[in-house]
Amino acid sequence: MKSIANLSPDLSSDYLSPEMSRRRFLGVSGMLVLGACLPVRGALAQAKAAAAFEPNLFLAIDGDGTVRVTAHRSEMGQGIRTALAQVVADELDADWSRVEVIQAEGDEKYGNQNTDGSVSILLNYDRLRATGASARLMLRQAAASRWDVDVESVSAVNHEVIHAATGRRLDYGELAADAAQLPVPEDAPRKNEAEHRYIGKPVVHVDAGDIARGQGVFGADYRLPNMATAVVVRCPWLGGGVKAIANQPKGEPGLISIETLPPAPSAGPVFAPLGGVAVVAEDTWTAIRIARGLQIEWTDSPNRSFDSEALCRSLREAVMQPGTPVPGSGKGDVDAAFAEGGTEVSAVYETAFLAHAPMEPPVAVADVSESGCVVHAPLQDPQSARGLIAGYLGMDPGSVAVTPTLLGGAFGRKSKPDFALEAVELSKRLKRPVRVQWLREDDIRHDFYHAAAAQHHRAVLDDDGKPKAWLQRSAFPSITTVFAAQASAPAPFELEQGFSNLPYAVENQRMESAGLRPGVRIGWLRSVCNVFHGFSANVFADEMAAAVGRDPIEHRLAMIPASGKLQQPGMPAPEGHELDFGRLREVIKRVRKLAEWDRPRPEGVGLGFAVHQSFRSYVATVLEASMANGRPRVSNAYVALDCGTYVNPDTCVAQMEGAVAFGLSLALYGDIGMKDGAVVQSNFHDYPILRIAEAPTTQVELVPAQGRLPAGVGEPGVPPVAPALVNALHAATGTRHRSLPIRA
């Protein structure tokens, strides 16, 4: 069972010691890479002939000079396959047009593969630079010995080793076999920033061409010979099982079988399938048509009475009562400061349950045989999925091969492999390959939902509008509720997401939290608890500024210490990743300039500002908004991002653009409700996603890398969006929206 500690990337051992993981991987030579890795395109194709030169798991160079970089993280649109290859190819000084990316299976030998928490570059930057640099030195050594010259007299540039004195040159491919005979050097010299040719440069994603031609292979596109397709009808409420099927279909052309799957056990294994009735057919439409016609009677479960409105009411009530103090968080005397009086600001903020709704609904292909199990699916963590599948089948993990396809969006949904386990179970029963295809309705109704939440903020201000005392309370059903039958309280890793680590100087401060058990599965969604914590803290700060008539950005800068780093309660951040007040102030100042914050906007158009540090990155966002035909309209978005060292600036920009759209979707529409245990919404007509006419123009400014540690890019853009919108609408209209989605 996956332990809670593994949930947060901040707690992973790889994160705590990137140096250690680097050493673990360098110098692993002669490892047979290719048996384990297949190219994503036509992934079933035969493994290629062994490479001439494989200095480690992540790099192989063929005799024809083809450089193959193994991507061990999953691609879901964040450009990671490209970025990992950029890093290796840069230090190798490879010709980009001769670089190929191979997708790795899930295997412990790669280290952390959990593509989650915006840590792929952070965890791998150093070790992949070392991989490229070692190989490059070895190629130089091979050429020097072939020519019988000093290694210092040869250079490796753009896929060739060159001896300048004599003009001799050899292609990397011609040297690969010789280089393979050399020991892997411990400390090969790396380039300095000025020498980088791919790192820090915009590079088009390696899958862009396939995607634009309809050739990218997503989970839904993977095919095996003799594959059947299953559509599963699941109980509307969590924990219910099949009592009876009133209309057992028989003799339908294309129908293979109707399989009853038991409901998920209430305690472990994690991510167990929900159970239900699987319609297995020769083709997808037959499965869908028959599944839609089934009349199933379900057994009861305690979750059948679950009602999201009642839960939200309880959350609202919970934040009006004293909660559990966040360990180590208290400061000064909040009650005394409140008793002293002054301008007081107090508000309750509420946010709804959300579904991930990746564009590709969950889907998985499994082929279980006596000798083993093969799975191809859009999985964020093929390694933990492999472990879970092996456990489920009682097989040795060595007999289970799990390869990620391209992920058609994920946002956290596809780190939970319940859908792959369904395919495994059905393939085992039917003794043939089975693809399980979730319908959009299944996706919306049977997700691991982003938690609904409530926060209460109360502060008393000095004449400048700075809080003399600040009481914060947060209540939400914790992610830990899916892992432990008794859990309900928010975990420290959830509170450290924009609640217990607010960057404001306050003398008297109290933080409390409360949790409730929900009747649905809770899961992490892009930016996790930063979504609601970043929302309430940023709107409340705006309310403080408004209460004393100050400019929101001036007021915010006044609340943030001029320099230094945050001493946060709970687990201190590793060195180099503490919240740095100077960096936070820098993104605020940059976005103020980018948005031309002081330029007057027309009547009815307002600017709203928010800033949030998460996943070790700093993002400040300004939105320009107005009301049009009774609905909020966002015309422009401005984003300043400091993510430390970055690999592909165009990807960083794209992730901020995407984060604005994701944030606006949840701010304007994101609302999942449950009644009688069942999710009310079902598809994009009642769970809308932002459409093109509503998408603003987004300008992004990237803070230069300055040699800082790499930080997250995929998630940190989301949290400031919703509060910036609420603050902009307040500036535009004077109306303050305190709950999401905005019901204007």
Partner 1 sequence: MVYELNVNGNGQSVDVSPDTPLLWVLRDHIGLTGTKYGCGGGYCGACTVHVDGSAVRSCQLPVADLEGKSISTIESLEARHPELVGTWVADNVAQCGYCQAGQLMSAAALLDANPAPTDQDIDAAMTGNICRCGTYARIRAAIHDAASQRNAGGASE
| Total residues in contact with partner 1, by rule CB under 8 A | 66
Q: What angle do CA 159, 160, 164 make, to 5 degrees?
A: 145
Q: Which of 285, 309, 485, 572 binds partner 1 (CB under 8 A)?
A: 285
Binding mask 39-78 for ligand FES (x = CB under 6 A): --------------------------------------x-
Which own/partner pairs from 696-699 qualify as long-range (CB within 8 Å, at least 24 positions apart)? 696/623, 696/624, 696/634, 696/635, 696/636, 696/637, 696/660, 696/664, 697/635, 697/636, 697/637, 698/636, 698/637, 698/638, 698/639, 698/656, 698/657, 698/660, 699/594, 699/636, 699/637, 699/638, 699/639
Pick 96 or 392: Cβ nearer partner 1? 96
Pick 214 or 394: Cβ nearer partner 1? 214
Pick 391 or 409: Cβ nearer ligand FES? 409
Pick 53 or 662: Cβ nearer ligand FES? 662
Enumerate the β-bridge partners of residue 459. Answer: 345, 470
Rounded to the nearest angstrom, the gap between the alpha carbon of residue 117 and the centroid of all alpha carbons in its chain is: 5
- Measured distance CA(522)–CA(450) in Å, rounded: 6
Task: Identify residues 322-361 at the interface with partner 1 (CB under 8 A).
Answer: 357-361
Task: Identify residues 244-273 at the interface with partner 1 (CB under 8 A).
Answer: 253-254
Which strand (E) or helix (H) includes residue 623? strand 617-628
Task: Identify residues 356-375 at the interface with ligand FES (CB under 6 A).
Answer: 359
Pick 356 or 577: Cβ nearer ligand FES? 356
Q: Which residue is nearest to ligand FES (CB)?
A: 359
Identify what 245 binds: ligand FES, partner 1, none; CB under 5 to 8 Å per kind: none
Contact (Cβ atoms closer than 8 angstroms) between residue 224 and residue 367:
yes
Min separation Cβ 610 and ligand FES, Å:
25
- Exposed e or buried b for every residue in 323-336, given b needs 16+ CB within 10 A? beebeebeeeebee
Pick 180 or 406: Cβ nearer partner 1? 406
Q: Which of 254, 372, 409, 561 binds ligand FES (CB under 6 A)?
A: 409
> Which H, E and C letters describe 1-23, residue by residue?
CCCHHHCCHHHCHHHHCHHHHHH
Q: E-strand spans in 24-175?
A: 37-38, 53-56, 59-61, 67-71, 99-104, 154-157, 160-163, 168-171
Pick 515 or 670: Cβ nearer ligand FES? 670
- Measured distance CA(420)–CA(368) in Å, rounded: 12
Min separation Cβ 361 and partner 1, Å:
8
Q: Which region among 70-78, 236-244, 267-275, 415-423 touches partner 1 (by CB under 8 A)?
A: 70-78
Binding mask 691-710 for partner 1 (x = CB under 8 A): xxx-xxxx------------
Task: Identify residues 540-599 at the interface with ligand FES (CB under 6 A).
Answer: none
- Measured distance CA(640)–CA(660) in Å, rounded: 12
- Measured distance CA(272)–CA(276) in Å, rounded: 12
Min separation Cβ 1 and partner 1, Å:
30
Q: Which of 106, 173, 216, 723 binds partner 1 (CB under 8 A)?
A: 216
The yes or no reply on residue 654 touching partner 1 (CB under 8 A) is: yes
- Measured distance CA(354)–CA(528) in Å, rounded: 11
The residues binding partner 1 (CB under 8 A) are: 75-79, 202, 204-205, 207-209, 211-218, 220-221, 223, 229, 253-254, 283-286, 288-289, 357-361, 406-411, 437, 439-440, 650, 654, 657-662, 665, 683-685, 689-693, 695-698
